[in-house]
């Protein structure tokens, strides 16, 4: 009997995840024989869940909230982009060792630049939030050489702390939400507000008719952030494109083949 290589998305909760559907389409397209599941891990049982997957011919896993920092600590080897992010969303299991990577940032950049045809080079970018989601995409964002990146957060101290971590990059600064008073070319919502149907306390002045507004949360309807941005700009994007593109990067890390993401968009977001 053929024993298939196993993969999974591990989270708490995880039932909402579209990752199994995405990876099933990738596998069919590239003729890879794999099994990909959702694994719900107790809050105190992440490591045990990973160990069980490894014992059952597991070859890798995607990690979602709230385990990305724990996955970072669990990894025996870390990629440079995982180190920069301080979090891991992609685990690979090789010779009983756990290797950690982070594909969120490269996935976001690929969605903005390639799928949405929005240049980051020389642009003025506002990054809302200073938690793990923001940290995870900051280094890949800076590698695209924007004119500047402003980190804004409800807690100004956290924004300053994150900006200081990337202080070698002169293009990074921090402000509080209350200090925002200019329009940006790109505004990325990396706060968790969308998960609770809430809205970051930002002024409408950060948008103009040319602004590209992206919410890292994905949903069937516009998030409060995107509804707010739509008052000024028509160029809107939720986090589904980032989800697909980071999944494609994970698939490449595991299988050595890069799938065609446009086929996935055509099926799941026609």
CATH number at residue 78: 3.40.50.10860
Average pLDDT of every residue of the chain: 94
Domain range for residue 177?
A: 105-238
Residues 67 and 137 in one domain: no
Instruction: Name the domain count of the chain.
Output: 2
Residues 89 and 173 in one domain: no
Residues 61 and 136 in one domain: no
Residues 179 and 163 in one domain: yes
pLDDT at residue number 184: 98
Q: pLDDT tens, 39-92?
A: 999 999 999 999 999 999 999 999 998 999 999 999 999 999 999 999 999 999
pLDDT at residue number 196: 76
Of 18, 59, 68, 83, catalytic: 68
Nearest to 243 by CA among 135, 90, 128: 90
pLDDT at residue number 169: 66
Residues 98 and 135 in one domain: no
Residues 26 and 50 in one domain: yes
CATH code assigned at 114: 3.40.50.720
Residues 223 and 137 in one domain: yes
pLDDT at residue number 219: 83
Residues 76 and 123 in one domain: no
pLDDT at residue number 131: 87
Along the chain (270 residues), what's the average pLDDT of each consecutive run of 10 residues?
Answer: 87 93 97 97 97 96 93 96 94 95 97 97 96 91 95 93 83 93 96 81 96 92 94 94 98 97 91
What is the rounded CA–CA span in Å between residue 105 and residue 83? 12
Clarify whether 68 is annotated catalytic: yes
Taking the model in full, what pTM does it have?
A: 0.94
pLDDT at residue number 44: 96
Residues 79 and 134 in one domain: no
Residues 64 and 117 in one domain: no
Residues 84 and 123 in one domain: no
Residues 232 and 109 in one domain: yes
What is the rounded CA–CA span in Å between residue 215 and residue 5? 33
pLDDT at residue number 270: 63
Using CA atoms, how far residue 123 sits from 119, 149, 228, 237, in Å, is 7, 9, 22, 17
pLDDT at residue number 210: 96
């Amino acid at each position: 009997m053929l024993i298939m290589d196993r993969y999974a998305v591990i989270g708490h909760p995880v039932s909402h995840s579209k990752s199994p559907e995405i990876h099933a389409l990738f596998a069919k397209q590239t003729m890879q024989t794999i099994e990909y599941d959702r694994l719900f891990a107790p809050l105190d049982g992440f490591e045990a869940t990973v160990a069980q997957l490894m014992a059952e011919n597991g070859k890798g896993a995607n990690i979602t909230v709230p385990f990305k920092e724990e996955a970072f600590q669990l990894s025996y080897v870390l990629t440079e982009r995982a180190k920069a992010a301080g979090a891991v969303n992609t685990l690979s299991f090789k010779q009983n060792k756990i290797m950690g990577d982070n594909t969120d940032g490269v996935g976001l950049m690929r969605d903005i630049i390639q799928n949405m045809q929005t240049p980051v080079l020389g642009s003025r970018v506002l990054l809302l939030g200073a938690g793990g989601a923001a940290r995870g995409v900051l280094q890949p964002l800076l590698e695209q050489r924007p004119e500047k990146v402003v980190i804004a957060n409800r807690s100004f101290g956290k924004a300053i702390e994150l900006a200081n971590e990337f202080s070698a990059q002169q293009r990074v600064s921090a402000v509080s939400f209350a200090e925002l008073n200019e329009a940006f070319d790109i505004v990325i919502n990396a706060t968790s507000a969308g998960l609770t149907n809430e809205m970051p306390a930002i002024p409408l002045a950060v948008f103009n008719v040319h602004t590209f507004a992206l919410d890292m949360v994905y949903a069937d309807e516009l998030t409060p952030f995107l509804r707010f941005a739509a008052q000024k700009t028509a160029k809107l994007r939720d986090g589904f494109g980032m989800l697909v593109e980071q999944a494609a990067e994970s698939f490449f890390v595991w299988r050595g083949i890069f799938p065609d993401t446009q086929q996935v968009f055509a099926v799941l977001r026609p």
